Amino acid sequence: MMKQTVVITGASRGIGRAVALAFAEKSASKNDHEEYNIFVNCAKNSELLENVKKQIRDLGVCCESFTGDISDYNTAMEMFDEVHRHFGNVDILVNNAGISIIGLFQDMTRDEWDRIMNVNVGSVYNCCHFAIPDMINAKSGRIINISSVWGNAGASCEAAYSATKGAVNSLTKALAKELAPSGICVNAIACGAIDTDMNSFLSDEDKLSLFEEIPAGRMGRPDEAGKLAVMLADAPSYLTGQIITLDGAWI
């Protein structure tokens, strides 16, 4: 069986790291026939990214990495050139790269607005733009976008972040319709409160208040998002265009 190539952005920590490790563990499992080549990316922290690559290789799974801000079109093109050089075509793309800016909308500068739009939406455009031709040629492929419940409901003091995730959700649905005739599935995971560095600003008191709002009584774990991404990669091809919420029944 030929190995599938998985590209995961924003993979040095948090959800992206968990997704990369989940694919690696599935590939390394003696009880599973799926095998993957894994290509991980982050914008800046090469040291953390190299640690993730080492963890994956220690499982006996092929892995390569690329440090660079793929919200920049030329940098994204350079990254996919590296993917093709190492592994050939892209079979699965997980768009996870993202940032959050918290504060009142009227206090946000235009530069901050442009930055979050470029990272959270522009990177998805760039990576899809370079991955889709491979998938169309193969008449198969999976695109999994990591989104947020705030893309569905909106959040006070996170207007720009909510707008970017709403855009990702709409792009997911539109691309799914456009690419379904080519055998390509496009879905998104709308994450709720996940225990990552992005939520590390919360105090213990804030976390306890949050837990009271979430019926599951806790934050989600990154590995739960990772497992769901792997499930979507292996889901029936009729499952496409869906925004799947992972939030403990919160929103």
Task: Give CA–CA dist 168/94, Å, rounded.
Answer: 13
φ/ψ of 11, rounded to 5, equals -105, 10
Catalytic: which of 36, 125, 161, 238? Answer: 161
Closest by CA to 142, choosing from 191, 175, 97, 98, is 175
**Is 161 among the residues known to form the active site?**
yes
User: Are the beta carbons of 75 and 122 closer than 8 angstroms?
Assistant: no
**What are the helix and strand counts (H, E) for the chain?**
9, 7
Closest by CA to 238, choosing from 157, 170, 184, 166, is 184
Task: Give CA–CA dist 47/104, Å, rounded.
Answer: 34
Task: Give CA–CA dist 157/105, Å, rounded.
Answer: 6
**Residue 59 CB-half CA count within 13 A:** 23
Residue 86 corresponds to which amino acid?
H
User: Could you write out the DSSP letters of every residue in 168-202?
Assistant: HHHHHHHHHHHHGGGTEEEEEEEE-SBSSGGGTT-
Q: Looking at the annotation, which residues are catalytic?
A: 161
